[in-house]
Homo-oligomer: A and B are copies of this chain.
Amino acid sequence: MRIVALAGGIGGARFLRGLKDVVAPDDEITVIGNTGDDIHLFGLKVCPDLDTVMYTLGGGIHEEQGWGRAEETFAVKDELAAYGVGPSWFGLGDKDFATHIVRTQMLGAGYPLSAVTEALCDRWQPGVRLLPMSDDRVETHVRITDDGGSRAIHFQEYWVKLHAAVDAEAIIPVGADTAKPAPGVLEAIAAADVILFPPSNPVVSIGTILAVPGIREAVAAAAAPVVGLSPIIGGAPVRGMADKVLAAVGVEASAAAVARHYGSRLLDGWLVDEVDADAVESVTAAGIACRAVPLLMTDPAATAAMARAALDLAEQVRR
């Protein structure tokens, strides 16, 4: 079976680990990773979501933190601060720096991000085929108004520096309109037996992937059932700032509203948490098969059960 999953960072990566636990040995998982939160720091190209997927599935992730490397040190960061070179709010560790150095060197030598990602995965052996959504530069910016006035800032500045403490007024995936899907992305979607939307951010993760021209259309046109898992439980995101960015696009932070935001043109099935069981009826009414199951990735077994439930629902809605 060929499974395609669109994925953001921590939530997507953890779900994928559960998915790997339940698929058959000869099933193939292709992950289309969000690159809209990529950022250039210190002249280096940093791809937080791709790296979180790669480190998580490859066994290098900082488990408690959910991002970055385990047993990390921060000598480079401290030295950059001693030079007075910022930003200081993005926590790059020494091991992580090496990844960005290799990536930046390869990009500078002319390799596209997809080839670079494949090369990095040669080491990590994540057990999935990890594709960036695009080889073209896309950067999600967030429009805010605060003491600094009204302005658009990089998503990482909004989330990591400002902790999403101010309202997001608009989400702007800069460059997405002219980006092309990376090699293999549309082909994987077209050839998929199942397409999954993990409980990643529906706006700045999955939404950004779908904003690359051709990807949304390919998902909508795919023969495979498309099943998503709600990142919103009981009206709030499990982690992250989905509520803030959903508000920016006029969508309520609820499991049902996110399903309707994707819509029945994309989604065939939708899993909500048991606390949101009352959403099943309205989601079903919107033309999307819906089940209420436990959606907290509290441990590997719980995560695997979620993946199993998503695959089961895909079979139920398969036409």
Q: How far is the CB of A121 from chain B (nearest CB, A)?
A: 11
Question: How far apart are A110's CB and chain B's nearest CB, in angstroms?
Answer: 12
Q: Which of A92-100, A260-268, A300-308, A310-318 contacts B (4 or more CB under 8 A)?
A: A92-100
Q: How far is the CB of A166 from chain B (nearest CB, A)?
A: 29
Contact in complex: B75, A42 (CB < 8 Å): no
The reply to whether A83 and B98 contact each other, CB–CB distance below 8 Å, is yes
- Which residue numbers of A lie inside 8 Å of B, CB to CB? 42-44, 73, 75-76, 78-80, 82-85, 93-95, 97-99, 101-102, 104-105, 108-109, 120, 122-123
Closest Cβ of chain B to A90, distance in Å, is 14
How many copies of this protein are present in the complex?
Answer: 2
Contacts of A93 in B (CB 8 A): 75
Report how far A95 CA is from B94 CA in the complex, Å.
10
Least Cβ–Cβ distance between A40 and chain B, in angstroms:
9
Chain B residues with Cβ under 8 A from A94's Cβ? 73, 75-76, 79, 94
With A73-B73, A94-B75, A101-B76 known as contacts, the answer to whether A123 contacts B42 (CB < 8 A) is: no
Nearest Cβ in chain B — how far from A264, in angstroms? 44
With the chains together, A126 CA to B30 CA distance in Å?
53
5 shortest A-B CB distances, which residue pairs? A79-B98, A43-B105, A75-B94, A76-B98, A79-B95
Residues on the B chain within 8 Å of A75, using CB: 73, 75, 93-95, 98
